[in-house]
Amino acid sequence: MKKADRENHRPVALVTGGARRVGRQIAISLAEAGFDVAITFNKSASDAAETLDSIQQTGTAAFGLRADLTDCDSAPHIAASVIETFGRLDVLVNNASIYEPGGIKEAKDGQLADMWAIHYRSPLLLCRSVEKQLRKSRGHIVNMLDVLAEKPMPSHAVYCASKAALWNLTLSLARELAPNVTVNGIAPGVVDWPADYPKADRTKYLRRVPLGRAGTPLDVANAVVFFCTKAPYVTGQVLRLDGGRSLT
């Protein structure tokens, strides 16, 4: 499906890391809201195929692109592929992420580089690569952050610091890309338990959540859709989507 094959009148969203978990739900919810959707994936090819099929079932177009976001050259390639396919871009969701332990003593050089690349450098380079298109469409950027950027865990220092960098970038971009593009962030608490997360630790965590439950990928996706469809006068904001956990 090349740009020359059809004239696209529907808005287009790009979701990085959109093959599985939260990214998958964001992509599907944007499709349900009327967007044609492009997703990137790296090692999750089978998950990506299932997600693309689910998007197409909503009646919108879907496009998947394998990309390694630790590679500096991936951002312009992603941008060019999406624009060539759809002819436009209205929304960028920087969702791709890796979550793994790593304090200052344990972190290896490779982990430092990968975390920085995926959580900060690639989002910045993607924003730069699609700036012209987003300004033209008066589009929206949503960066997926984490409440741990404000309340870091020493055992995950590298992850938390790289997410904090993306948090700050969100605020900077909101000023730089105004008035044409809105830029906001979503900082979830737990919205999709890791499979190996101990039951006792889950119970302990939930005791400090005023709403008494973990979040869901749909909670996050609904917030993304809000920023992209219902909030034209909101920019430079970070929504703490944690059931009130950051208050305790």
Q: Of 120, 159, 205, 233, which is the active-site residue?
A: 159
| Half-sphere exposure at residue 200, Cβ-oriented, CA atoms within 13 angstroms | 0
159 has catalytic annotation:
yes
Q: Where are the alpha helices (DSSP H) in the chain?
A: 21-32, 45-56, 74-86, 109-116, 122-137, 157-176, 199-206, 217-229
Single-letter amino acid code for the residue at 229: T
For 148-181, letters b (16+ CB in 10 Å) and e give bbeebeeebbbbbbbbbbbbebbbebbeebeeeb
CB 47 within 8 A of CB 27: no
Q: Measure CA 123 to chain center.
A: 9
Tokens of 168: 């700050």
Integer CA distances (angstroms), 108 to 94, 104, 111, in order: 24, 9, 5
Give the active site residues.
Answer: 159
